Amino acid sequence: MNLDLSGVFIPCTTPFSSVTGEIDITALRINFKTWLTHSIKGIVVGGSTGEALLLDENERTLIITTARDLISDERLLIAGTGAESTRTTIRYCKLAAGCGADAVLVQPPAFYRGAMTDSVLLNHYLAVAKESPVPVIVYQVPLHLNTIEFSSKLLTDLSSLENIVGMKDSRGKLDIVGEIVSKTRDDFQILVGSGAIFYGGLELGAVGGILAVACLAPGPSVAIHKFFKAGNFAEAGRIQEIIGPVHKKIVGSMGVPGVKAAMDFIGLQGGEPRPPLRPSPGPSRDKILEVLESAGLDIKSE
């Protein structure tokens, strides 16, 4: 299945009601409508930034269907569907496809990590790719989370499988991006997962990015890709220098609570993360505000 992943995807957060703790659909819609005013390629739901592991199956369905209602057919909707069993992963893929997802983002099973050899993981993804009704994107989760690091040999093998169209790599290292590009098939599409290296990733052959920093700076994130594709490398590099620190100091250092707090400052619906995650404390919020102001982002609330 052909799917053009070139561009910037926003991995959306999941807003929760401060009263009930349930998903706040109104807040989700507000965020979507704001993000969709920018020339993003699409939106990812049910990813790490969306606290997917803290959502039940009905909530995952609700988010996908809500997103599909708001996203036009010209843009892509990608749903995170990784689970610890091959059986559940396949079920999630079929569920996402039935709700309108254009592709699925599949992280590796990691709880029994000692048993997850290359051959075991290859068989897992082979089964998922065969059964998924929509194209599969392999997800290399950031290594500070509970995950497995793909070997170069495994990624080469995965890139040869039918219905696996690319991968998101969130290790944040340019040498790894270059290695993946050189060792996978020519039409295997690499998406950078770190806003700190987006421009560098494009230089090395990545086609785009799934960038949590784009939750906060969708316009500048899209502009990096646009100027790079137009050959205006100086301007793309200049904007990268602006959003790079936002990724490093908020997304990379503070995670979901930091991203949500930053969204509150710029007028989006961030809110509190779902327990056991805790909101960003006062000193962190002061730092977030300082970083946003330094990047020239429009502060709506302090």
Catalytically active residues, by annotation: 168
CB 289 within 8 A of CB 302: yes
Q: What DSSP designation does 265 have?
A: H
**Bridge partners for 164 per DSSP:** 136
Contacts of 107 (CB under 8 A, 6+ apart): 80, 82, 139, 141, 147
Q: Hey, is 16 helix, strand or coil?
A: strand
Q: Which one, of 70, 76, 148, lies nearest residue 109 by Cα? A: 148
CB 291 within 8 A of CB 250: yes
Strand 7-11 to 42-45 pairing: parallel
Residue type, 237: G
Cis peptide before 142 (omega within 30 of 0): no
Residue type, 258: G
Q: Which one, of 103, 96, 60, 57, lies nearest residue 78 by Cα? A: 103
Contacts of 236 (CB under 8 A, 6+ apart): 199, 202, 223, 224, 225, 227, 228
CA dist 202 and 69 (Å) reads 31
Q: Which one, of 73, 17, 23, lies nearest residue 46 by Cα? A: 23
